Amino acid sequence: MPETIALHPAAPWVELKTNEADWAAADPALLKELLAQMALIRAFEEKVLELAGEGLVHGPAHSSIGQEGGAAGSIVGLRPTDQVNGSHRGHHQFLAKALAYVAPGLDPTAPLSDDTHALLHRSLAEILGLEPGFGHGRGGSMHLRWGEAGAIGTNAIVGGGVPLAAGAAFAHKRAGTGDVAISYFGDGAVNIGAVLETMNLAAAWDLPLLFFIENNGYAVATTVEEATRETRLSGRGTGFGIPSFKVDGMDPLAVHLATQEALKIMRAGQGPAVIEADVYRYFHQNGALPGSAFGYRTKEEEAQWRARDPIKRTGAALVARGVLTQDDLDALTERAEAAMADAAAKLVETVGNKRRVMPGMWPDVSFVDEGIRGDLSELSGRRGEEEATYRGGLAERKFVDAIADVLHRRFETDERFVIMGEDIHKLKGGTNGATRGLAAAFPDRCLGTPISEGAFAGLAGGIAMDGRYRPIIEFMYPDFMWVAADPVFNQIGKARHMFGADVPVPLVLRTKIAMGTGYGSQHSLDPAGVFATSPGWRIVAPSTPFDYIGLMNAALACEDPVLVIEHVDLYQTSGAIPDGDLDYIIPFGKAKVVRPGRELTILTYSAMVHRSREAVEELGLDAEIIDLRSLDRAGLDWDTIGESIRKTNNVLIVEQGSLSTSYGGFLADEIQRRYLDWLDQPVQRVTGKIASPTISKVLERAAFAGKEEVIAGLAVTMAAKGTPLPGMPSAAL
């Protein structure tokens, strides 16, 4: 018989319970602050449900009534500089952190301060979608952020905030402050890949991050038992070597004590911790009806949990110890309810027999697109250069070496930069050599990651939003953006606008187009067309080493997220770069005329600039080739494009990738809207085929556009203009 050896987790996993002696020994000031916070949170949530019942909350009202003990228990006692984020059901955590900031040591018998009244007013305004809110009404109930107080944003994507909190924890660790981050999420998020990936990454990098699981037993109506075999959700932590605690979330003292144990671990530099708190939401997923009204819970179950109410438990303990009286408890409830009535009275008014939002409280509709991206004022005053007019000496350099050169230069001049990605610290500069020398020179800032784009992209987003460091991430192939779609598009791309336009997100994402390398449908995407649909992203696609240095410098100085597109066909090509000068920028929004002409305007980017030039010169065509360089909607150089179109009256857009994810479709539409009167024919396009490139060499080549397809496109375009090229076919593309 084979021998079996029992294995044990690499980290402790315990359940923590309190008894009457613990409550008797607890600091009265602690219990009073817990009680006061929970009472205010309860009154706040009740007011939200009241207004929602009158149709005054546009969208969901995810109440946290019943779960206040987990929030207050874990947040009371944090430093102001510690940070928290949460999920769509995150009012209680946001309020607890903000209350601890404006009213530390909150006394249940004292009048509320003006700052506390202002907090309740602004929070309620945000949930109602109104101008006085923290995000000017853009975030609403599910996106509450007050960075000053350490509340770095609740999140409507289940589990979506967890990687962002890891970014905050990374910044704390790197800064050496001893501060921590706490990410709150529910039982439903425990089984989501981004959460588990982040647990692994946080453990591998010893990040001071507390994964706080609010196990309320239901993901909407599906029970935990239906969703997973291991219903003790804190067990997830042991799989990653993370010390884990299970606790009764209806016992705020137990939550507090467990959190203190977790804080000891994190502040000592020993990495993350997990707390699972069993809590209960008294109402349905959304709104003021109990779960029993929908048939997935019984009234008996609900009554049993309500009998364990954390506010009543804490109040009773304080009365039993003679610290407070029942009259004090009643007065606290009345004071909290009066404060919420006052907050609501500043936002809504009664007209007839109904209440409505005061018209003056709505945000100005002209604010709708404000703050999608910054104004680029951070680039003002920086020296711009162009290869054609550069006055210094030039030297030949491979494209891939220019990438490594400019990254090294920025790292040696600015300690805020960190770069992360798969294998970038190995193989002499990653799989293509673009990070050559960084790991040797800056080992603590050139970080190889696990294969987990969702986790490290989200972590980088959190670093960027923190503001102390400036992350660069590499996706080995752009198709991997789909693996990381939530952090890339829902989080990084939307954060600045969603939180009210005041959250810079200085992040650079490098990736490469790899068509023609035989890596097939899942490694061969041109990401420009997809990213162009996400307005928060800026996009640049350099075609020469000189342009790469200037555009990368601009990207690294920018306060918005920037996608930098490279191309494998360019890596080993050579071009001129300034000799000893790696500090200039090429401003966003400046296209480059690489070949003047009068008969046709060719708009293109990246490696297709060179393919287009080869085709034009082979045909002897008098075409003007414009390298767009900046591809996002806000970055297009309409002055240069328009001047060329008014001269040639004819446009061909050239791109290499699939028609299905084409960048040129939106560009052609916009050109025809702006310049219809100047066009002699509709905008023509060269693209790849509908399908993504596949493995077979001949099928792969047939799928994407190269010089031959550009030549065919030129022939069709000129024939449609009435000036066919001699000896060339004029069939439609």
- Point out the catalytic residue in the list 33, 453, 624, 655: 453
Distance CA(16)–CA(6), nearest Å, equals: 25
**Chain position carrying tokens 């952090």:** 487
**Chain position carrying tokens 């008797």:** 24
Burial group, residue 36, by CB count within 10 angstroms (0-12, 13-18, 19+):
buried
- Point out the catalytic residue in the list 256, 523, 567, 610: 523
Distance CA(346)–CA(362), nearest Å, equals: 12
Task: Look up 523 and say whether it is catalytic.
Answer: yes
The two tokens of residue 207 are: 């990040």
Query: What is the CA angle 479-484-486, rounded to 5?
Result: 130
Query: What is the CA angle 324-326-328, rounded to 5?
Result: 55
Nearest to 310 by CA among 277, 261, 337, 338: 277
Buried b (16+ CB within 10 A) or exposed e, 319-347: eeeebbeeebbeebbebbbebbeebbeeb
Asked whether the beta carbons of 151 and 119 are under 8 A apart, the reply is no
Residue 107 CB neighbour total at 10 angstroms:
14
Asked whether the beta carbons of 412 and 406 are under 8 A apart, the reply is no
Alpha-carbon torsion 384, 386, 387, 389, what sign?
negative
Alpha-carbon torsion 702, 708, 710, 716, what sign?
negative
Residue 475 CB neighbour total at 10 angstroms:
22
Asked whether the beta carbons of 507 and 564 are under 8 A apart, the reply is no
Task: Look up 197 and say whether it is catalytic.
Answer: no
**Chain position carrying tokens 């509450």:** 144
Q: Residue 58 is which amino acid?
A: H
The two tokens of residue 196 are: 């588990």
Bridge partners (DSSP) listed for residue 355: 350
Phi, psi angles (nearest 5°) of residue 522 = -100, 10
Asked whether the beta carbons of 485 and 539 are under 8 A apart, the reply is no
Asked whether the beta carbons of 536 and 499 are under 8 A apart, the reply is no
Under 8 Å CB-to-CB from 707, ≥6 apart: which residues?
611, 614, 615, 618
Nearest to 675 by CA among 625, 719, 641: 641
Nearest to 282 by CA among 318, 258, 314, 310: 310
Distance CA(65)–CA(47), nearest Å, equals: 11
Residue 519 CB neighbour total at 10 angstroms:
16
Which DSSP string corresponds to 259-317?
Answer: HHHHHHHHHTT---EEEEEE---SS-SSSSS-GGGGTSS-HHHHHHHHTT-HHHHHHHH
Under 8 Å CB-to-CB from 43, ≥6 apart: which residues?
333, 336, 337, 339, 340
Q: Which residues are marked as active site?
A: 453, 523
